[in-house]
């Protein structure tokens, strides 16, 4: 059952990437720009055309209690007045590992060397 859920998640993520590559678009990038314009200290990142915003810092026990799957890593850092791209983060350093909740895929977690943070996807619109 877990394997079926995991494969479904991978297939749907792949399809979203293939379809979404043309739509990472201005809407997601514009939301990121607006959030950063409001407050440069916002902790956000874009992964696979989805914008995520920090909810809270959690401890290792909380992170371990959630079933997750690897989702990717941060590939670049945001610079003021630049355009947000997929893999780019405002706070998280390059190389930070990101994990997606299996049961609730709108939640992702960062693991920056044992420091864990919960993020939630920001709906478009």
Average pLDDT, the chain: 85
Q: How confident is the model at residue 82, as a pLDDT?
A: 83
19: pLDDT strictly greater than 50: no
73: pLDDT strictly greater than 70: yes
Interval 69-95 mean pLDDT: 93
Q: How confident is the model at residue 120, as a pLDDT?
A: 98
Please tell me which residue, 114 or 108, carries the higher pLDDT value.
Answer: 108
Domains contained in the chain, number: 1
Domain with 102, as residue range(s), is 2-121
E strands within the chain?
44-47, 50-58, 68-73, 76-77, 88-89, 97-101, 107-111, 116-121
């Amino acid at each position: 059952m877990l394997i079926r859920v995991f494969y479904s998640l991978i297939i749907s993520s792949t399809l979203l990437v293939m379809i979404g590559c043309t739509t990472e678009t201005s809407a997601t990038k514009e939301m990121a720009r607006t959030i950063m314009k409001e407050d440069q200290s916002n902790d956000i990142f874009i992964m696979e055309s989805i914008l995520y915003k920090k909810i809270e810092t959690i401890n290792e026990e909380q992170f371990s209690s959630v079933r997750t799957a690897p989702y990717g890593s941060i590939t670049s850092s945001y610079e003021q007045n630049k355009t947000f791209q997929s893999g780019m983060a405002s706070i998280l350093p390059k190389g930070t590992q990101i994990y997606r909740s299996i049961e609730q895929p709108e939640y992702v977690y960062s693991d920056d060397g044992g420091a864990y943070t919960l993020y939630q996807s920001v709906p478009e619109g």
